[in-house]
Structure 1
Amino acid sequence: MHSGVILVCLAGCITIAACNRVYVHPFHLFAYNQSSCEKLEQENQTTGEAKTFIPISIDSKITDEEEILRDRFSSGTQSLDLEGRQMLIYLTELVNILGFRLFAAWKEMHKSETVLLSPTNLFGTLVSFYLGASKDTSSSLQPFLGFPSGGPNCTFKLDGHIVFTSLKAIDSLLLSKGVNIDASKMAFLFVAPGVHLSESFVYDLLPSADSLFVRAVAFSDPAVATEQINSFFNDRISRKGNPVLTTVDAATTLMYASYMHFKGKVKNAFPLADHQDFWIDSNTKVLVPMMSVKGRFEFKHDDVENVLVIKVPLSENDFLLLVQPTHGNTLKKIESTLSFNSYSSFFGNLRSRSVHLTMPKLSIESTYDIQDILAHIQLPNLLGKKSDLSRMSDADIRVGKIVNKVYFELEDCGMDAGQRMDPSGEDVPLEVTLNKPYLLAVYEGGSKVLMALSSVRNPMMSV
């Protein structure tokens, strides 16, 4: 049979099959089904018998509780079926859109500083509170996360546990890529003494991080509570930096903190012997450590938008996207119109070519209170002191700070002069040097989800 006829027949078969298929909105893959709703309703009718989780004191030396929490969830990577891939595609878009929205607010609050934010970590933090939210708070958080508003019954509500499991699958895709990427997440829940949490809520949080810590802290003495939390936090994270907390409100009964450490190595890169100039603005420069790499990269120099874009692989699929203004353009101008859609346009018309790239080594951290960002975008009550978190605890929950701390490192591979890789092909490499403020994004290559987003104004400073 002629190949053209075969194609026509195949197209007809696909069209018929598609017409016979009932469209299911991706949201319903994350929503409660009828059986889950019946189970939830049964639990609501027996709240007096619900199991509670009693946090141990932050001063306790007992570690068995931590081991029990870790053992309740298996973090093994599983292959994704068609439905699982559909869920990841849908969730990735929501994570990226919300990440860009809150990143824009955060950088607006720190216009002259290096800003770093993890969209996946931030999204997971908000889902943590959704798991404990009820009534108006739940109804407000669901559309804020990007999911359709809840309907009249349970099957229109988001199942936060499924969202966490999908986020964990994304993390597993990133962390299974080899020696050039290392990342970890921790979550901390601090509650006032006497506040008992729902056991199911605590266990539903387990996929949110590699380690979950739940401790009781007396917020009534803010100075002591701040010192205890900072000490507990620093004893467990991999890199010590600025304190996660400066102060707490004595009226707080619950505080949440998370930590994400991301370390990436640029393949085939080697360190430069001397520090190089980095121009913070046209009149100010600092000396920073730099690295250099030669190879074939996807690249473009857009003379219309006046930006230079380069895609740098970190592993088999995962990559950096670097965007630097050119021809008199500035990072401030780019950021003034930056959105998920505008950033996605940077991927257009990239072409492979030989490049000799010189860029800063990075070791930056950012600590931000999500409450501050929500207040900046005129949503101070979304997770305020009057939030309904009755699925989290029967106690009167007064939310304090909701802190995300992100530590980001970007290094060379430690190659010496004898190991330096020359670009393949015979074309002369284009010289590209990132020596003035630029945008940086880390993408998980399989899902295209944003793991980290940064506005690098000064490689030696961050907030």
Structure 2
Amino acid sequence: MKSFVLTMQFQHIMLFFTALIGLSTCNRVYVHPFTLLTYNKSECEKIQSEDQGAEKMFFPTAIESNNVEEKYLRLQTIPEPCHFGIIENYLTSLISVLSFRAVAEWWKLQKTDSVLLPYTDFYRTMVSLYLGSSGNTSISLHKFLGFPQPSSSTNCTSKLNGLKVMSNLKKIDNCLYSKDSNINALRTAFMFVSPNVPMSEKFVHGLTQTADNFYVRAVDFKDSAKAVKSINEFLNSKLPVNTESGLTSIDVTSNFMYISHVQFKGKVPQSFLIPNHQPFWTEPSKSVMVPMISVSGIFQFIEDTKKNQFIIKISLSDTDFLLLVQPINGNTLENIESSMQWETYGTWVNGLITRYRYVNLSLPKLKIERSYNSQDILPSLNVPELLGKNADFSKMSKKPIKVGKVINMVDFELEESGAVPNGENDVPEIKEEPVEIKFNRPFILALCEGTTKSLLLLGRVVHPTDVI
């Protein structure tokens, strides 16, 4: 995997092109997007005055407590119109670079399993930890997130304002998660801390922007088996589906855990379920019988004989769409993955713009649940001690915070819409024979937002019903 040099190269490229656009339209001085995410003078003065006062703390409610008033649930607001400005575009580029590096590491660690990582949610989790960090840990997370280093360690106005980043990630979410009735999406976040650890109200309030629902609870980490049972039961009581967290153990020396869950359930328009289960070849000589979806129509589609792969775009709503990539002609999924870079997705999307074909498509009905502990890949990303025992998270609490697992969960479902396969659906007249495409063996899956071309999920499907 490429190092942080890749991130900086991308920022320099983006800076160059943005500057060109600015110069071509006006004579105003170009302002780097990063400076729009730092503290201004008045914010710095407020921080300094707050530092002189007492930080408000509270002890989270015990996880066993019932009928708790959820003080830290995110306030429901009227969604703002979807708009990507210079800051949102800048953040999206950083999200793409860092999250692709994470996906590539999970591909290596789980070579024979399905992998599906929520792009923006992984990045948001790391920003959440940045909000609670101080000292060298804050500097390390700042760099890990892809931002330029502050001009001075003592200059407040050159430092990243994590709350501004969170606010703009919320704007990005407003664009990425479709409000279409064909789509069901929900983000839920959980923070678990030891009973004797007081938490900063300011820090916790900052995290309420991270999800549709946010919960903070106290758990006794010293009894690992009991803590695992309590946390799993709590997750299942708050999540919209009975999801397996993959949590089987807890580091008894830790006193903090963060879990984020993304649910995405979509339907393929004008599709129906094939009556009988069909074979899906998980390996060249091994198959499983799975429910398959059928749909026919005009699709953006490429049969790339040079790289030996199929690429097809499947619209799920007015905005969200899937990109499916499957190896052909003896090519393997491993070959495609090993040649991918963060720019590959953009190449796929741009290459499909003028490629339309009538396709008879069949693909598996999907139910994929995955759970990822970020601690597992940090060594491979050259930051093994980023969240280690010596990390400084003094903005979270007055007591030392020992971060345990930092988990991103995803629950992805793809279903048929229930269209009747009797020829009643409107289809355009065509002059060429339809292409028959079957996604009946492992493939790359990318869930995308159409207006901004941003990624929501990226990974591989090895088994259509890959539940932990």
1:298 equivalent to 2:300? Answer yes
- Give SS of 1:441's match: strand
The residue identity in structure 2 corresponding to 1:442 is L
Distance 2:340 2:424 in 1: 36
Deviation at 1:179, TM superposition (A): 1.1
Q: Which residue of 2 aligns with 1:109?
A: 109
Equivalent position to 1:197, from 196, 199, 204: 199
- Say if 1:327 and 1:176 are closer, same or farther in 2 by CA, change over 3 A: closer
1:138 equivalent to 2:127? Answer no
Q: Is 174-183 or 206-215 further displaced after alignment?
A: 174-183
Q: Which residue of 2 aligns with 1:434?
A: 439
Contact 1:423 1:429 (8 Å CA) reproduced = no
Contact 1:354 1:423 (8 Å CA) reproduced = no
* More helix by percentage: 1
- Give SS of 2:85's match: helix
Correspondences of 1:218-297 after superposition (within 5 Å): 218-297=220-299
Q: Which residue of 2 aligns with 1:11?
A: none
Deviation at 1:455, TM superposition (A): 0.5
- Say if 1:363 and 1:436 are closer, same or farther in 2 by CA, change over 3 A: same
Distance 1:197 1:446 in 2: 39
Deviation at 1:74, TM superposition (A): 4.0
Q: Which residue of 2 aligns with 1:383?
A: 387
- Say if 1:275 and 1:92 are closer, same or farther in 2 by CA, change over 3 A: same
The residue identity in structure 2 corresponding to 1:269 is S
Distance 1:155 1:97 in 2: 26
Deviation at 1:147, TM superposition (A): 1.4
Contact 2:22 2:28 (8 Å CA) reproduced = no
Distance 2:22 2:134 in 1: 43
1:43 equivalent to 2:50? Answer yes
Distance 1:376 1:33 in 2: 36
Contact 2:22 2:30 (8 Å CA) reproduced = no
Contact 1:324 1:438 (8 Å CA) reproduced = yes
- Give SS of 1:366's match: strand
The residue identity in structure 2 corresponding to 1:143 is K
- Say if 1:231 and 1:420 are closer, same or farther in 2 by CA, change over 3 A: farther
Spell out, residue by residue over 1:3-61, the C-alpha distance to the aligned partner (whole angstroms, 9 max, x if none).
xxxxxxxxxxx998745211011112222222212211222232xx1211321111111
Q: Which residue of 1 aligns with 2:362?
A: 358
Equivalent position to 2:73, from 64, 67, 70: 70
Deviation at 1:150, TM superposition (A): 2.5
Deviation at 1:375, TM superposition (A): 2.6
**Structure 1 gaps, min length 5:** 1-13
The residue identity in structure 1 corresponding to 2:321 is F
- Say if 1:120 and 1:89 are closer, same or farther in 2 by CA, change over 3 A: same
Q: Is 166-175 or 367-376 further displaced after alignment?
A: 166-175
Q: Which residue of 1 aligns with 2:184?
A: 182
Spell out, residue by residue over 1:379-421, the C-alpha distance to the aligned partner (whole angstroms, 9 max, x if none).
2211112111011111110111111111100111022234753
Give me the CA root mean square deviation.
1.8
Contact 2:72 2:216 (8 Å CA) reproduced = no
Distance 1:345 1:453 in 2: 15
The residue identity in structure 2 corresponding to 1:426 is I
Equivalent position to 1:445, from 443, 450, 453: 450
Equivalent position to 2:212, from 210, 213, 217: 210
**Structure 2 gaps, min length 5:** 1-20
Q: Percent identity?
A: 44
Correspondences of 1:335-374 after superposition (within 5 Å): 335-350=337-352, 351-374=355-378
Q: Which residue of 2 aligns with 1:9?
A: none
Distance 1:93 1:243 in 2: 29
The residue identity in structure 2 corresponding to 1:221 is D
How many residue pairs get aligned? The number is 443
Contact 1:185 1:211 (8 Å CA) reproduced = yes
Contact 1:295 1:421 (8 Å CA) reproduced = no
Distance 1:370 1:167 in 2: 20
**Which segments of structure 1 move beyond 6 Å, counting only runs of 4 or more?**
14-17
Spell out, residue by residue over 1:272-297, the C-alpha distance to the aligned partner (whole angstroms, 9 max, x if none).
00111111222111111110111111
- Say if 1:244 and 1:211 are closer, same or farther in 2 by CA, change over 3 A: farther
Contact 1:317 1:445 (8 Å CA) reproduced = yes
Contact 2:59 2:195 (8 Å CA) reproduced = no
The residue identity in structure 2 corresponding to 1:254 is F
Q: Which residue of 1 aligns with 2:87?
A: 87
Deviation at 1:444, TM superposition (A): 1.6
Deviation at 1:457, TM superposition (A): 1.4
Distance 1:349 1:297 in 2: 13
The residue identity in structure 2 corresponding to 1:112 is T
Distance 1:139 1:123 in 2: 16
Contact 2:195 2:219 (8 Å CA) reproduced = yes
Distance 1:458 1:186 in 2: 25
Q: Which residue of 2 aligns with 1:328?
A: 330
Q: Is 121-130 or 18-27 further displaced after alignment?
A: 18-27
Spell out, residue by residue over 1:94-115, the C-alpha distance to the aligned partner (whole angstroms, 9 max, x if none).
1111111000001110001111
Contact 1:269 1:420 (8 Å CA) reproduced = no
Q: Which residue of 2 aligns with 1:6?
A: none
